Amino acid sequence: MSWWRARRARLLQLWAVGLVSSVLVTAASALGYLEGWQARGLDLLLRLQGHRTPYDVVVVAIDEAAFEGLGRRQPIPRDYLARVIRGLQRSGVAAVGLDVTLGTPTTPADDAALARAIRDFSEDGVSRVVVAGPLGAVGGPLGARALGRAVVTGSPQMPVDDDGFIRHVAPVVPARDGVVAALGVAVAARVGGADPMTLLAAVRTGGTVPIPKTRAGGTMEAPAPVAVRAGDLWPINYVGPARSFLTVPSDVVAALAEPDAEIAADNPLRGRIAMLGGAFQDSRDFYQTPHGLMAGIEVHANVIHMLTTRRFIQPSSWVLGFGVSALVVLGASLVLLAMKPVRGTLVCAVGGLVVGVPAAWLAFDRGGYWIDFLLPVLATCVMGFFTDFLARRRMRDQFSRYLSKDLLARVIDDASSLRGERRVVSVLFSDLRGYTTLSEAMTPEAITAHLNEYFDAMTTAIFAHQGMINDFIGDAVMAVFNVLIADPEHALHAVQAAAAMDRALTDLNQRWTARGLPLLHMGIGIHTGSVFAGNVGGHDKISGRDKIKYTVIGDPVNVAARVEGLNKELGTTILITAETYAVVGDRVRAKDRGPMHVKGRVEEVRVYEVLSVEGGVR
């Protein structure tokens, strides 16, 4: 319980900052500001899940060898495509996705040959060849008028992210005269028995399309409905890098179109879906994916495989994302409670990745659940930033009255200097002589103005020599040197500050005399010794807040205060003890005033009157 009481306020503040950070990060995610980072996080999980062996889709590639054999002609000769389709039909494929645009007419004979191959590979009057649309609006064997009712078409267009990667597929794609299904969706739906009209009706109304489900080994179950809605974007669950699918050269398949070609009953094409398209360099049909450069036909093959295996990526909701982030930042608060904000944030961020990535991968690999492991890490980083900002502001508020700007900046950068420790310091006390009597004749407003001007000058002199003002006690000033920031010359700097204070008061008295104000006189005492320096205080049960103050405690504080009082007795301005004089040596010219008895101390204290000091002549 004592641990909780001592740290409750700080921990509650960290929790509050953490929850606010979680809200900000979740909102940024929901508004799409983190899409780039999240996309790369999903890329990592896709690569980590390893390579899967798809049994349902085969890629029939028009490769470099085929392209060379065709005389590098484009568009690809229609009669060649017709032979490949007939070879696929004879091999017993379930359906063909033709990722070749047919909108540009070629020779009538070649176009007619391809149209016959497409029509011949039909079932109930609808071809099993799904064509990349749109079909040409003009007449001809491959035009919309000739093939429109006999063939299912699909759009080969895929949304490209800002970084040039294809990570999603839109199941419904806007078209010139409405909407059309994506090519992968159209091919999978055709295998499930959809015809052109039912598929078009489904994509127009946001309905469902029948798509079979593939079991391990390649066998297909009966078709089941899959919803397709305009505006949806499905993350593509890639099976692996390029050539993860069984890839067959198109020349091999074209040879199977010959009537005398022998085809094995258990050939690798039978019962599978074939994607036919260009994989040669001049086709310019290559895209960046999370697994590297990939031909367009392979991207569509991945979409089909995702549909037939139902291995959809299920993004987590913002509620789950917020909940995970909130739990992580609550745990990170304990780390930040024990460490500096920057170091603690780094530890939490690295720890979040070390734990979050394997956990996210496990959920992704086993169930396709995309739990964004970056959100908790980002929330922790935002929390660390705000915690560091609040800590710096708190320190700035706490010490701005007692330290110069330069020293304050150094203390903020080294928060460890606030930890309690014993260290040798030089303590300076100054007091105005006779000010109590003088103030009886002045109004409170005049006293305040007089003191403010005096304190401003004294503060400037102390700050200029790396001192910290520990306290203002009435008209007295207590300053300490060699606290918070190490200062090997603290004794000399204390004496130099005292000389500067004396000179500043002389200048003030000259101005005050001209204004008809009374003169002020002061005494300064300096002693060097070992003290405890650090935050002291306790918990205020009434206010519920911690009353903490940085100060120094020890006998040297009392000695310095008593030595300052000896100035009245000796008629001096600056007195230092033998301990201080032993440190500054010949850099200070002083007069030995002998051992003196001070109140509250049995041993006498030898004091020296400062006459001049190196770098600060009085």
Read out DSSP for 323-364? HHHHHHHHHHHHHHHHS-HHHHHHHHHHHHHHHHHHHHHHHH
- Burial code of 577-587, b = ≥16 C-beta within 10 A, e = fewer? bebbbebbeeb
Confidence of residue 278 (pLDDT cuts 50, 70, 90): very high
Structure tokens at 242: 């390029």
Confidence of residue 542 (pLDDT cuts 50, 70, 90): very low
In tens, the pLDDT along 468-499 reads: 888 888 788 999 999 877 889 999 999 999 99
The DSSP string of 258-316 is STT----TT-TTTTSEEEEEE-SGGG--EEEETTEEEEHHHHHHHHHHHHHHT---EEP
φ, ψ (nearest 5 deg) of residue 229? -130, 140
In tens, the pLDDT along 233-246 reads: 999 999 999 999 99
pLDDT at 225 over 80: yes
- Which pLDDT score, from 0 to 100, does residue 32 have? 82
C-alpha count within 13 angstroms, C-beta hemisphere, residue 147: 34
Angle at 475 (CA atoms; ends 472, 476), nearest 5 degrees = 55
Share of the chain above pLDDT 70, in %: 88
- Which pLDDT score, from 0 to 100, does residue 409 have? 57
E strands in 342-447: 369-370, 421-432
Q: Regarding the domain delimited by 416-613, which CATH topology (the fold level of the hierarchy) does it fall under?
A: Alpha-Beta Plaits (3.30.70)
- Which pLDDT score, from 0 to 100, does residue 405 have? 57
In tens, the pLDDT along 12-37 reads: 778 888 888 888 888 888 888 888 88
Amino acid identity at 322: F
Q: Locate the domains of the chain by residue range.
A: 2-33+315-385, 51-312, 416-613
- Which pLDDT score, from 0 to 100, does residue 320 have? 83
pLDDT at 264 over 80: yes
> What average pLDDT does the chain have?
86
In tens, the pLDDT along 553-603 reads: 889 999 999 999 999 999 999 999 999 999 998 899 999 999 998 887 788
Lowest mean pLDDT among 115-129, 173-187, 354-368, 562-576: 354-368
φ, ψ (nearest 5 deg) of residue 169? -130, 135
Confidence of residue 52 (pLDDT cuts 50, 70, 90): confident
In tens, the pLDDT along 570-584 reads: 999 999 999 999 999
- Which pLDDT score, from 0 to 100, does residue 187 have? 97
Angle at 173 (CA atoms; ends 102, 49), nearest 5 degrees = 100
Identify the sign of the CA torsion 72, 73, 76, 77.
negative
Amino acid identity at 577: T
pLDDT at 6 over 60: no
Calculate mean pLDDT across residues 448-456: 84
pLDDT at 415 over 80: no
How far is 351 from 7, CA to CA, in rounded Å? 23
- Which pLDDT score, from 0 to 100, does residue 543 have? 46
How far is 338 from 347, CA to CA, in rounded Å? 12
- Which pLDDT score, from 0 to 100, does residue 394 have? 65
In tens, the pLDDT along 79-93 reads: 999 999 999 999 999
- Which pLDDT score, from 0 to 100, does residue 301 have? 97
The β-bridge partners of 97 are 130, 275
Q: Are 505 and 473 in contact (CB under 8 A)?
A: no
- Which pLDDT score, from 0 to 100, does residue 534 have? 73
201-215, 341-355, 402-416, range with greatest mean pLDDT: 201-215
pLDDT at 420 over 80: no
Identify the sign of the CA torsion 90, 92, 95, 97.
negative
